[in-house]
């Protein structure tokens, strides 16, 4: 594991703290697409039965700190309103059944599409992360452990890999809160 790993907290509604400005596409209201509530978006996003592999589960590469935090938040899903989000290979799996505006129909060719933050398939080499979402608070926490394929300066995670992890956490938060889909602005100030 490299230095510059971190825990991302994303919360909507606090503009001054918002790193990312979400954008609702013209003609697309994700909340309205499935009813009108965050709950219905979340229940669709987290299918109880699926054959899809969930990459947001512990594996042998997770360090003790990561496992400990995972268990801590898993406990909170039982009593405190938090939801552990599954993470499939592609966003295409997450939005199955969502009708996109005509200008946004994705190519349906045979390419092996992958969401960027699951682009590296070997356990522990790239992104290891899990996002917990609180539908009522519209808040997320991402536990993240960068692997050696995310390097920038020797021994440190690439600034771009951290930016991507933050962007992904915010985009899932905004999507499930029914408030956005695309990134418009991304402003990050690294503390150290």
- Asked if residue 191 lies in contact with residue 159, where contact means CB atoms within 8 angstroms, the answer is no
Q: Which is nearer to its own copies, 99 or 137 (CB)?
A: 99
Q: Is 61 in the site for its own copies (CB under 8 A)?
A: no
How many CA atoms lie within 13 Å of 89's alpha carbon, on the beta-carbon side? 9
How far, rounded to the nearest angstrom, does the alpha carbon of residue 97 sit from its chain's CA centroid? 19
CA 126-42-28 angle, to 5 degrees, is 95
Going by the DSSP 8-state scheme, the letter that residue 47 receives in this structure is -
Segment near its own copies (CB under 8 A); pick from 36-44, 60-68, 69-77, 116-124:
116-124
Asked if 65 is an active-site residue, the reply is no
Q: Rounded to whole angstroms, how far apart are CA atoms 143 and 63?
A: 11
Q: Is 185 in the site for its own copies (CB under 8 A)?
A: yes
Per-residue contact string for residues 73-92; x = within reach of its own copies by CB under 8 A: -----------------xxx
Going by the DSSP 8-state scheme, the letter that residue 103 receives in this structure is G
CB of 169 to its own copies, least distance (A): 10
3-state DSSP call for residue 148?
helix
CB of 179 to its own copies, least distance (A): 15
Q: Is 26 in the site for its own copies (CB under 8 A)?
A: no
Q: Is 156 in the site for its own copies (CB under 8 A)?
A: yes
Q: Is 6 in the site for its own copies (CB under 8 A)?
A: no
CB of 26 to its own copies, least distance (A): 12
Q: Rounded to whole angstroms, how far apart are CA atoms 178 and 181?
A: 9
The single residue among 59, 79, 102, 111 that binds its own copies, judged by CB under 8 A, is 111
Which among 31, 10, 138, 18 is positioned nearest to 81, based on CA atoms? 138
Q: Which of residues 163-182 bind its own copies (CB under 8 A)?
A: 163-168, 171, 181-182
| Residues listed for the chain | 192
Residues that bind its own copies (CB under 8 A): 20, 90-92, 95, 100, 104-107, 111-117, 119-120, 125-126, 148-161, 163-168, 171, 181-190
Residues tagged active-site: 167
């Amino acid at each position: 594991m490299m230095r510059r790993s971190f825990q991302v907290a994303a919360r909507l509604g606090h503009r001054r703290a918002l790193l990312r400005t979400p954008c609702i596409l013209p003609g697309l209201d994700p909340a309205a697409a499935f009813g009108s509530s965050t709950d219905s978006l979340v229940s669709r996003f987290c299918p109880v039965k699926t054959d899809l592999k969930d990459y947001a589960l512990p594996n042998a590469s997770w360090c003790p700190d990561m496992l400990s935090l995972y268990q801590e938040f898993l406990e909170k899903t039982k009593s405190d309103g938090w939801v552990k989000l599954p993470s499939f290979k592609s966003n295409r799996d997450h939005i199955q059944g969502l009708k996109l505006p005509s200008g946004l129909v994705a190519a349906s060719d045979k390419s092996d599409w992958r969401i960027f933050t699951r682009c590296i398939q070997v356990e522990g080499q790239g992104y290891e992360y899990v996002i917990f979402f609180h539908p009522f608070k519209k808040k997320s926490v991402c536990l993240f452990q960068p692997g050696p394929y995310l390097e920038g300066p020797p021994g440190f995670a690439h600034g771009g890999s951290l930016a991507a992890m933050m962007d992904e956490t915010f985009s899932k938060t905004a999507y499930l809160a029914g408030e956005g889909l695309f990134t418009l602005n991304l402003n990050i100030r690294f503390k150290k």
